[in-house]
Amino acid sequence: MLRRLHPRCSLWLNAALALFCAAAFLLVLLWPLRSFSEATTYTAEERALLDAFESGEIIRLHVLADGDDAESQRVKLCVRDALIAAFGDLLVDASHADADAVYETLLAQVSRMEEVALTCARENGFTGPVTAEAGVLTLPEKTYGQVTLPAGDYRGLRVTLGSGQGRNWWCVLFPQLCLAVSSDGVEPQPSEVPSLTWDAERILSQWLIFPV
């Protein structure tokens, strides 16, 4: 003959059962996230970017075009090329030290960078204002490979042509990366991505072709 459980025992049993069901539900809910995280394999460059983001050592560069018309975009790329030709080696040398050295270089050279950008823009027929800012800047969200940098405040350099309302070109000055991946879905095939160590010639020939 079956014996009925004491009401208090029945309450404890129901509570334990409810707790078990809740735990099982959470496990089922979270398991796909755990599996996804474990399945994500970052490249060495992406891992360096993540580590730098977590430690606050990222330094970014943005060049903003006046507009999205072909001429504005052409001038933007000419200014980008002029800046790297004039300051690429200096930034490479600074990056061999640490993020602070790169940042201090930007702060010390920002006036010269603005002069170089202005001269290049004028030589290419652009008559609007040209400004360069170095410091802690509010920058938009950008995606580099499998890593998304959220919008927020970052140390960096921003060069603005005219209204600055056109698609901009960006890269990461520290760590020594300049990834050819943009957040508008334009991505190179894996076989097309070179080693991501900063190198002016490779950057100019391959990485700087993804404006956003």
Contacts (Cβ under 8 Å, ≥6 apart) of 77: 169, 208, 211
Q: Which two tokens stand for residue 24?
A: 């099982």
**What whole-number distance in Å separates Cα of residue 43 and Cα of residue 26?**
31
pLDDT grade for 4, boundaries at 50, 70 and 90: low
**What whole-number distance in Å separates Cα of residue 101 and Cα of residue 107?**
10
Average pLDDT over residues 52-79: 93
Q: Angle at the Cα of 84 (from 83 to 85), degrees rounded to 5?
A: 90
Element (H, E) at 26: helix 7-39
Q: Which two tokens stand for residue 165?
A: 């309302």
CB of 64 closer than 8 Å to CB of 161: yes
Q: Which two tokens stand for residue 61?
A: 């560069």
The alpha carbon of 187 is separated from its chain's Cα centroid by a whole number of angstroms, namely 14
| 190/153: higher pLDDT | 153
Provide, rounded to the nearest whole percent, the portion of the chain with pLDDT above 90.
42
pLDDT grade for 112, boundaries at 50, 70 and 90: very high
The candidate with the shortest Cα–Cα distance to 58, out of 131, 137, 145, is 137
Q: Is the pLDDT of residue 137 over 70?
A: yes
Cβ-in-10-Å burial (0-12, 13-18, 19+) of 187 comes to middle
CB atoms within 10 A of CB 157: 26
